Amino acid sequence: MNEWQLHGSAPELYQRYLVPAVTAIWAADLVYRAGLRSGARVLDVACGTGVVARAAAERVGRIGWVAGIDINPGMLAVARSSQADPSSQAGPESWIGWFLGSALALPFAGAGFDVVLCQLGLQFFPDRPAALAEMHRVLAPGGRVGLNVYGTIEHNPATFALAQALDRHVGPGAAVAKRAEHLLADTVLLYRLVSEAGFRRISVVTETRIVRFRSAADYVRIQMTATPLASLLTTQEGAADRLMEALIHDVAADLQPFDTGGGLALPQEAHILLADT
C-alpha cells in the first residue's frame, strides 16, 4: 500500500470538512486516553493537518513540546498555516514543530519523546513493523505509544456503502483506498504487530462514535475531493459528474437508515491501542 497522499486543493478541503466531522472526534479521544501531562515531549506520527498535534499541545502546555511529522507536503502546509502566530503568544501551538519525513525513518534521536501518537495512519504504512520499531526507538524509557485504527469496514456503514458503490460504478479495485482504511481491523494482528516491536502492557479497546454529515451527497462529495479518491475523478474522461451522481444515488440508498431528517448520523468504529516501552 502506498503512502496516503493528497494533492492540489485536497489538503485544504480535508482540513475544512473531514477534520471537524471525523478526525477531531477521534483526536480528542486519543489524546485523552494517552494521559498527556504538562511538560511532556510528544511526537505525532502521520500528523496530517495537525489535529492531534494541536490537541496534544493544549495538554502539555508551554513547558512541553510537540512535533508533528508527515510524508505529505500539502498536509503539512495546511498544518503550518493553521497554527497560531508564535509572536502573538496566543497559546501552546507556538510549541509545535512540523517535519516532513517518513514514519519508517523518523529524523529524531533515540529516547527523545515521552509519548508517540499515531492517528488513523498505521494501516497505510508500507512497512508497519519498521514504523513501530521507529516509534519504539524514539521513546524514552517508560514512554507510551497511543494509536488508533478503524475497525471492520462492515461496522463503518458510510465507508462500506461508498466502497461498494465505487466497485460497482468504476470497477473492481476502485475502492482500494477506502478499503485500506480498515486493513488493521483485526485486533489480534494489531496487538501482535505492537508486541513484536518491543512494546509492553498493551491494551486495545474498540469504540464507536457518531459522525455527522448534512446529507449523503455532502459525504460523497467530500470523500471524492478531500481524500485520495479525488484521483479517480481525474481519470473519468469527462464522466466525472455522472460518476458523482451515481455514487451519491447508491450511497444515499444504503445510508437511508441513518438519515435523521436533519442529516446523517453515522456510526464509526475504531480500535484504540495504548502500550508502554
3-state helix, strand, coil split of the chain in percent (to 5) is: 45, 25, 30
User: In the chain, where do the E strands start and end?
Assistant: 41-45, 65-70, 96-100, 113-119, 139-150, 200-213, 264-276
CA distance 200 to 24: 28
CA distance 86 to 121: 28
Q: What are phi and psi of 100, to 5 degrees?
A: -90, 120
pLDDT at 2: 46
Tens-level pLDDT at each residue, the chain (277 residues): 345 667 678 999 999 999 999 999 999 999 999 999 999 999 999 999 999 999 999 999 999 999 999 999 999 999 999 875 444 344 544 489 999 999 999 999 999 999 999 999 999 999 999 999 999 999 999 999 999 999 999 999 999 999 999 999 998 889 998 999 999 999 999 999 999 999 999 999 999 999 999 999 999 999 999 999 988 877 666 688 999 999 999 999 999 999 999 999 999 999 999 999 9
Please state the domain extents for the chain. Answer: 10-154+182-213+266-276
Eight-class DSSP state of 183? T
Q: Give Cα separations from 161 to 73, 89, 187, 243, 258 (angstroms).
A: 30, 45, 23, 15, 12
CA distance 190 to 208: 18
CA distance 243 to 170: 8
Can you give the length of the chain in residues? Answer: 277
Superfamily, domain 10-154+182-213+266-276: Vaccinia Virus protein VP39 (3.40.50.150)
CA distance 230 to 254: 22
Please report where in the chains the cell 519504539 appears, as a residue: 136
- 38 C-beta neighbours (distance < 10 Å), count: 10
